[in-house]
Structure 1
Amino acid sequence: MFRRLQNWVNRHFQSFFSLLLTCLLVAGSLTLKDNYLVVTKYTPSGIINWEINTTNARRDSILKEWQAGFKKNQIYTSKATYSKTITGIDAVMFQNTVDYIFIGIYVSLLLILIIRIGCQKANPRRRVISQRTILIFGALAILAGLLDVFENLTTYRALLHFKVKEPLPNAWVIGIPAHLKYLLITIVICKLLYESFKLGKPRFWLEYISAWLGRLLTYSWRFRIVLITLLIFFLGLFISGQIQDMLLSINTSRWASFYFLVITTLLALMCWHLPKAIDNSLKISYKSFFMGPTDFDNMRLPAGARPSIKVDTGRLLGAAGFLIPATGILHTMNAYNIDYMLNGISPLVLLMASMIFYKILLRYRWIEKLYKSDTKVIQWRFWLSMVLLIFPIVFWGGISGKQNREPYFLAYLSLDLFFLSAMFMITATLRTSVPAIKKWHIAPWVTFSGLFAMIFFILCNFPSFLNEITSDNRFYTMPIVLCAGAGFLLFFSFLLFAGKKTGVSLITFLLLFTVYRSVSTITNYHEAFIQKQENYHKSLDSLNNYTEQWLISRKPDIEAFVKKHPGTPYPVFFVNAYGGGLRATAWTTMVIGTLDSLLRRNNNMSDFQHYVFSYSGASGGTIGLSLLCSARYQYRQNTSADTVFYPLNSLKIYHNDYLTSNIVAFLGRDMLASSLGIAPWADRARLMEQDWERNTYPHNLDMSVTISKMWKGKNYEVPLLFANTFDVDSGKKGITAPVLLDSLDFPSTIFPEEEIEDPGDLRLSTAAFLSARFPYVSPTAKLNGKHHFTDGGTWDNSGAETSLQVLNVFERVRNKMIKADPVFSYVQPQFLALPNSAQRTEPTGKPKNLFEPLAPPVGILNSRIGYMKKSEDWNYSLSRIKHYGFHLFRPMAEQVPDTRIWPVLPLGWQISDYAMTRMRVSVQGDTSAINKIMACFGISPKR
């Protein structure tokens, strides 16, 4: 019987060894869940230090540290919502439970390695190790596993006793078995390595790894177009918070989920099909590229044989097209703390494990063994599998009502993709043996579907067509972008195919041509849009004079305020809003809108913006401030009717799609115009401005009004807007403002509005987006042939420095006016800073070593963060010295009501309802910040 076991292990060694290694990877990932709570001063190596400890004093110190460390999770499931606190003790107990699986896997691995070595022969007459040795070392491996089990049982008992405050077992009860376990495992591994060296296995392993790396590099280059597509897909899903938030929006629409699955399936099929045409380009015609049939090149193989490595690689690339978004969705669920099965496994590990599992299936022909009898496919098994896999996809998609729009339902969207990957692998493997599928020529379906996706994307580059699709929704951004990915994949694959047939590297020539045209032509493309009107005269007041007139206009108000609130100075606010994409825009308007509503409701007086002198913003914060100014301008005759940005009202504005046109133009019309050195149409920056002008107009906002006109007519109810930008040519800050600024007050600064001659002027939308030029997503803005303006957050993402400079001018003018009228001495400046990222409330683990080559770029990138903090600290320090007010209002770590999920606050130009609701709840729930601001107006604290 033992001999039969040896033969079975020897025959199936490679497949089961690979499978066990994959399982070890998954189990190892589970055992590291919340490991940062376990790694402490007394356990720098995690739970290993606990295992090998033999002193009770150290044991008690370890337990106290584990108990002190904790994190809080808000868990949202289909049946319940609850808050969960996880301590280091809880993390160890979870790891301890998962360790039983880990034990079974590593013991199995050691056993099959021992048996495998026992099957090897040093010469035809003598085996490497005897059967007795196999039994001895097998017993040692099993004994090590049993000691590990005993150690886990004792650990669980100790942790349980500690939690209920009962006497603990002695530390040596765990420590001695642990030492014995590690000793036995070391002996077994040393024996295996020794026998492997005797057989010359290390050389074989190195040769195998070298050959594998060689094939990897060869196929990576040969199928580079597909790999680049998959890599971009992967980076977008796993790194971008914007895409994570978009997935939550997609989940709320059944049709958006359907389109997402359809286009993802098309991309996966193209990743599988196109490498065959590229590899065999010398043998097939141009017609065959589109119509088929296509297969991998089998020039050096026997007649009728197929190149198995290439075939398997193509199928794995197709499977990756499904698995990358499937695990990317799980990564999103982890970011939102949404519970799902196997949430302890890292999605990245799950992706790797799934790919390795599919590789094992293909390498050892497990699919053929399961579905084939001799050379024929067992039809009922195949079709039953297809039905079982597609039924849940159809069933989940057909569920009506609110259930399939809940965040937890993202898990089912992920499962859809896993099931589709399984259907693909089975069908791709058996398709030539199933008569009904063999007759179906897949090539034209794949290529012409890709061609249709390309045409659709081209049509999306026409604003009228795209606006019709994205009207009143923001669900279709990702499907449209995936259509672009499918179109580019088909286009560049065809160029690579044609290049191989002709012997000319068409892609290289195309890239060289585009680079040449880009650097050798000068066009007005990406020029900042300047509104020109006949007989238009731009007249800007100086900041000094504007400040004086503003204070004069507030004199009666100051007198009334001081009379009503003796001892309370009249507050004048200088607001600075941080950058952060649409989340910054939404947060800025929500905070100011909330303060407006509270002040009107509580005091029967003017709203908050009446007391705001200036707004200074960067990037998305500037957009929010410009919206506030626009609403204020529209209601200038009756500012009390301005309720556009009251907390509930503002959500309507952000329901529109402000991202798709920008991304489509970036991948389409802008790329074409820049490559050809032409400027036949508006660039993506102008399209975004037009989107905001169009989508905000129904809400009584006018983003198309010019800067000079907006602040004309001595209307001092609209706070001054200072839009900060950055000139990449000079490295100087730029400020777009509706007043003339003195370079002595704003040193080393460019003033774009002052450089534009009559009859030209900047629209409010253009001025705002000069500040919000998110690098690469938005182009730098040319102006007068001398400047290229990029995002205002490039250097100071807070706008705090400009706010301080404006305050200095304000105080200089006020001090001058106090001499003539002491009523102005009752004015007290107030800083209000609006960062839009939630403060982290829990540790993220110990700082890691910084790899030396990364230090310079990391330092350069972090320098802007340091300058931003420095600017805010300047304002805070000045407020303490001069007795000004200083207020910081940022989002709190709030969950969404009735869900308890924590949506990410994305950095981008699209935002889900969940993220907006989280910010709205945070604004209204931060009573400490609100009370402090309301106290400036003599209003009692909110209970």
Structure 2
Amino acid sequence: MSAITGSLKRLTTLLRNLFRALWVFFPGILFLVLTLVCFWNLAQGKDLMVLATEHRGFFLLFQSLLSYLVLVSWYAARTVANAKRTCGHTAQNYLQEGYYKHMPRFIGFTIFTIIILAFVQTPLFGSAIEDDSKIHFVLLAASIPYYFWMNRFFERRFKVIRLNRLFLITLLLIITGSTLITFNIERYSWMVILMLLVLQACFLVLVVTRREILKQYKKDGKNTSQTSSKVQKLADKLGIPREEIRFHVIFLMISLVALAVYVACTLNVGFAVSLGSFPFVLLAFSVFMGFGFILAFISIRIGINIHLIFVILAFLFGQWTERHEVTLIEKKPAVRESFANKASVRDYFIQWVKDRDTLIRKSKEFPVYFVLSDGGASRSGYWVASVLGKLEDTSQRDFSKHLFCLSGASGGSVGNAAFYTLLKNAAARPDNNLPGNQSFYRAGKEYLRSDFLTYTLSRMLGHDFFVAMLPMDTRGDRAKALTEALEWAPKDSVLLKRQLQMPLSELAIYKDRVDTKLPILCVNTTRMQDGQPSVISTIAIDPLTFNNRIDILARLKENKDMKLSTAVVLGASFPYVSPAGRIDAYKFLKNGPTEFPFYFVDGGYVDNSGAGVVHEMIIKLNSLRDSICRSNNDTILRSNCQKLSFYVMHISNGPEGDVLLKKVNPFVNDLAAPLKTLMGAYGVQTSINDSRLKNYLREMYGNNLHYKPINLYRPQEPLKYSMNWVISGRTLDSMDKRLYSADVRVYMVKILQELKR
């Protein structure tokens, strides 16, 4: 009985110390979990690692930032441990001494382990290992005894770091390995793991020998001889041991350099892109972890948990501040037209048919194409721009003559906008071609290969976090950063950097001058407050035709305008990368137009493909065409309308097939059933809109030939394409191969054949 009681006491003591350690070192533990989730569970995180390896000098930069992250995690945790251990007589027994010693080391050691196993799961090491996730958790668990064995081994063998043969061999291995990896990561990918294991061991040697040196310094009284009394007093006030003052100064200098790089990324698109997303995430995690430990340190010193105070202040300041206002521009003086005077779909359709009179007369059937573009960040944008560009090139510019409308959401709108901008560039030139006769396919690809993520992340993991502590309005959130990235990040693209800065007042189609050289552009969004579908369009979105969808441009103040880049970002405001954007716009009440704050998010919340607005448009046009065909007023228009045939091309980029339904934990069911239902409804609403449109076309024509899906994914596709605002070259090359696959080519051939009827 006494043995059982003793075991229970030891178990209770162990659990008490573990939970207390989790609380004391919570920032470090939190970022261990975040690092694991980001680079193990998320396809985007794995792809960012692959993307980083595609840049020259990758490993040198990666080594530096990973080493700094480990340094911050270890030393910040150690500083908090010292503060907790020396803060009052009750705190001295709060944790067993071993936890104060090992937890900071283990946090730094485990960051190496998580990153090593993350690299093993990337395509660099083959898909077979990538798919087997259980073994990696087993290896992560095995790293715990591995840490204690290595720590004990180094404590016995190393007291100081000497310039001996072992030191020189290690240094030579690090330099040689870094050089080989930098020059050819594909060939020496296995060396990444070896190098990280060496660096992990070097980290333990450093912390072990440093502890021995500090013990000796303290014993000999050398710590006070080289620092001024003022510095010593400041160190005593902050709770920093005097023997560690020199290291604190060095650590502060390194941190200032890292902080300068961090701030520079939030201020300059080019600098952020040159650093890259994966290195920036490591840097941002270092800053956030350091900030978290600083708050923990202060909380321990003053005896008050200030984390909660910051949360309360952020909420209170939000009652009268605004962080996410959409940046609208002033209308140019030369632009006198009001968005309220935009042409209706009827006006555009009649003029569109008249402008193509010669082409329609020559054809037996004249296809009219409506393009739906699913959301999916750069994955969607790249696929959409590739498909549309390839069709335009292979049809020798005939496809755009049959293109009536481009509709999409999120990344699909970015792909649509890129193609739309290319069409505008070509239309403005005498030869009706792109500069240098570059192909639409290549031009769109070059643009969508750009890094739109790093600068956006720099605001998300920097500016947007810290400004929440300010009691005044702020500007320049991550949505604004994504807008600027879309405008400025491209380097070698025929799409000039300022093309997406074009005001929509110059692109809109007005009643008195209907220009049909360009198709209708519809960027679908959703009003956050009530889920009302909304559209930013170059034509008027009247409530009768489009079932009370909100025409955002028509609600703006007379002197306000919106850039094309702002519009597509507003349609791509999907948490958490881009928040809901606020626009102060008019709501038409009985007593007249009244201004209200509207918040808009991703169109995918209601319709991820833009099928809804196209369906309503086709219903209107079908009715209009029938009335024209019955009319005797214009025989030429009537004859032409009889030849029109509506086709919908749905460019999608998501896996197909039924969702595998699993058991729901009763605890989750009790607490989060509404949330899980809403998350499920997100995808269902899109599929219902698509099916409704498909069924309508089938009933109209009696076949399925008028709804043409072109999906990036094959049925039962094992490959996963990362959905992110930057994609690795390896993934983009796979998408290029998909464009030339047999089933996609068959679809494109059918479309081209239809254009020649």
Output the TM-score relative to the length of structure 2.
0.83
Paired residue type of 2:72: M
Query: In structure 1, what is the Cα distance between the partners aligned to 2:597 and 2:612?
Result: 24
Q: Residues 430, 792 of structure 1: CA spacing in aligned structure 2 closer, same or farther, 3 A cutoff? A: same
What residue in structure 2 maps to residue 114 of structure 1? none
Q: Give me the whole-angstrom Cα distance separating, in 2, the residues matched to 1:435 and 1:758.
A: 70
Aligned residue type for 2:177: W
CA offsets 1:858-909 (integer angstroms, 9 cap, x no match): 3321111111111111122222211261111012459xxxxxx987422221
Q: Deviations over 1:159-185 (max 9, x none)?
A: xxxxxxxxxxxxxxxxxxxxxxxxxxx
Letter matched to residue 781 of structure 1 = G
In structure 2, the residue matched to 1:659 is 453
- Cα deviation, 1:520-543, whole Å, max 9, x if unaligned, reads x14474234234323532341112
**How far 1:217 sits from its partner (Å)?**
0.8
Percent identity of paired positions between Structure 1 and Structure 2: 19
Instruction: Work out the CA distance in 2 between the residues paired with 1:867 and 1:298.
Output: 55
Structure 2 vs 1, CA of residues 214 and 384 (structure 1 numbering), >3 Å: closer, same or farther?
farther
1:770 touches 1:789 (CA, 8 Å); kept in 2?
yes
Counterpart secondary structure, 1:775: coil
Q: Using the alignment, how far apart are the partners of 1:337 and 1:346 within structure 2? A: 14
Give deviations 1:695-719, integer Å, cap 9, x for gaps: 4596245112222311445331211
Q: Whole-Å Cα distance in 2 between the matches of residues 924 and 391 of structure 1?
A: 46
Relative to structure 1, the CA distance from residue 389 to residue 662 in structure 2 (aligned partners, 3 Å threshold; closer, same or farther) is: same
Displacement after TM superposition at 1:838 (Å): 4.8
Q: CA RMSD in A?
A: 3.4
1:220 aligns with 2:22: yes
Which of these residues, 809, 813, 835, is aligned with residue 620 of structure 2?
A: 809
Q: Cα distance 1:336–1:815, how it changes in 2: closer, same or farther (>3 A)?
A: farther
Deviation at 1:570, TM superposition (A): 1.3
The answer as to 2:307 corresponding to 1:510 is no
Contact map agreement 2:541 2:550 (CA 8 A) in 1: no
**Superposition map of 1:201-600 within 5 A:** 205-281=7-83, 299=92, 307-333=97-123, 337=127, 346-362=135-151, 365-369=152-156, 371=157, 391-399=172-180, 403-404=184-185, 406=186, 409-433=188-212, 442-463=247-268, 466-468=269-271, 470=273, 473=274, 476-519=276-319, 521-523=320-322, 525-534=324-333, 536-537=335-336, 538=338, 539-562=341-364, 569-600=365-396
Q: 1:699 aligns with which of 494, 500, 503?
A: 494
> Could you tell me how far 1:782 is from its partner in structure 2?
0.7
Match of residue 575, structure 2, among 748, 768, 775: 775
Q: Which position in structure 1 is the counterpart of 2:749? A: 931
User: Aligned partners of 2:4, 2:680: CA distance in 1, in Å?
Assistant: 45
Verify the 8 A CA contact 2:323 2:475 in the aligned structure 1.
no
Whichever residue aligns with residue 602 of structure 2, its letter is: D
Matches of 1:455 and 1:403, distance apart in 2: 30
Residues of 2 paired with 1:688 and 1:501: CA distance? 40
1:627 to 401, 418, 421: 418
> Which letter does structure 2 place at the counterpart of 1:919?
M
SS at match of 1:678: coil
Instruction: Select the residue among 629, 642, 649 that pairs with 2:443.
Output: 649
Question: Is the CA contact 1:633–1:710 (under 8 Å) kept in the aligned structure 2?
Answer: no
In structure 2, what is the Cα distance between the partners aligned to 1:877 and 1:792? 22
Deviation at 1:425, TM superposition (A): 2.3
Residue 709 of structure 2 corresponds to residue 888 of structure 1: yes
Contact 2:525 2:602 survives alignment (8 Å): yes
State the alpha-carbon separation in 2 of the partners of residues 447 and 284 from structure 1: 22
Q: Does 1:819 align with 2:630?
A: yes
The one-letter code matched in structure 1 to 2:505 is S
* 3-state SS, counterpart of residue 726 of structure 1: strand
Contact 1:654 1:911 (C-alpha < 8 Å) held by counterparts? no
Query: Which among 813, 830, 849 is matched to residue 663 of structure 2?
Result: 849
Superposition deviation, residue 270 in structure 1: 1.9
Shift of 1:637: 3.9
Gaps of 5+ in 2: 223-243, 585-595, 632-637
Q: What is the Cα deviation at residue 220 of structure 1?
A: 0.6
- Equivalent AA in structure 1 for residue 139 of structure 2: L
> Offset at 1:402?
5.9
Please list the CA deviations of residues 768-819 of structure 1 after superposition, one character each: whole Å capped at 9, or x if unmatched. 1110112121121111143100111122212112221111122122222222
The answer to whether the 8 A contact 1:533-1:760 is kept is: no
Deviations 1:461-494 (Å, cap 9, x if unpaired)?
223xx52453xx5x52222232222222223322
Q: State the partner residue of 1:688.
A: 482
Which letter maps to 1:423?
A: C
**Structure 1 pair 437–527 and aligned structure 2 pair: CA distance change class (3 A):** farther
**Structure 2 residue aligned with 1:145:** none
Measured in 2, the distance between the counterparts of 1:612 and 1:424 equals 61
SS of the aligned residue for 1:346 comes to helix
Provide, for residues 488-528 of structure 1, a one-character-per-residue CA deviation record: whole Å limited to 9, x for no partner: 22233223223322334333333322221112x14474234
SS at match of 2:451: coil
- Secondary structure in 2 matching 1:740: coil
Listed one character per residue, the Cα deviations across residues 86-132 of structure 1 (whole Å, up to 9, x for unaligned) are xxxxxxxxxxxxxxxxxxxxxxxxxxxxxxxxxxxxxxxxxxxxxxx
Question: What's the counterpart of residue 54 of structure 1?
Answer: none
One-letter code aligned to 1:699: V
Deviates more, 1:642-651 or 1:664-673: 642-651
In the TM superposition, 1:114-263 aligns within 5 A as 205-263=7-65
2:729 matches 1:913: yes
Superposition deviation, residue 693 in structure 1 = 2.1
Structure-1 residue corresponding to 2:527? 727
Identify if the C-alpha distance between structure 1 residues 715 and 282 changes in structure 2 by more than 3 Å, giving closer, same or farther: same
Give the alignment of 1:46-85 within 5 angstroms. none
Give me the whole-angstrom Cα distance separating, in 2, the residues matched to 1:755 and 1:652: 35
- Please say if residues 574 and 613 of structure 1, whose CA atoms lie closer than 8 Å, have aligned partners that are also in contact: yes
Residue 441 of structure 2: SS of its match in structure 1? coil
Equivalent position SS for 1:787 = strand
* Number of residue equivalences: 692
Contact between 2:541 and 2:549, CA under 8 Å: does it hold in 1?
A: no
1:284 and 1:443, CA in 2 relative to 1: closer, same or farther beyond 3 A?
farther
Aligned to 2:697: 879
Mean CA deviation greater in 321-330 or 393-402 = 393-402
Query: Equivalents in 1 of 2:626, 2:565: separation in Å?
Result: 35
Q: Does 1:870 align with 2:670?
A: no
414 and 773 in structure 1: CA distance in 2 versus 1, 3 angstrom threshold: farther
TM-score, normalised via structure 1 length: 0.68
Distance change in 2, residues 1:527/1:432 (3 Å): closer
Indicate if the aligned counterparts of 1:518 and 1:675 stay in contact, CA closer than 8 A.
no
Supply the distance in 1 between the matched residues of 2:182 and 2:211 (Cα, whole angstroms).
42
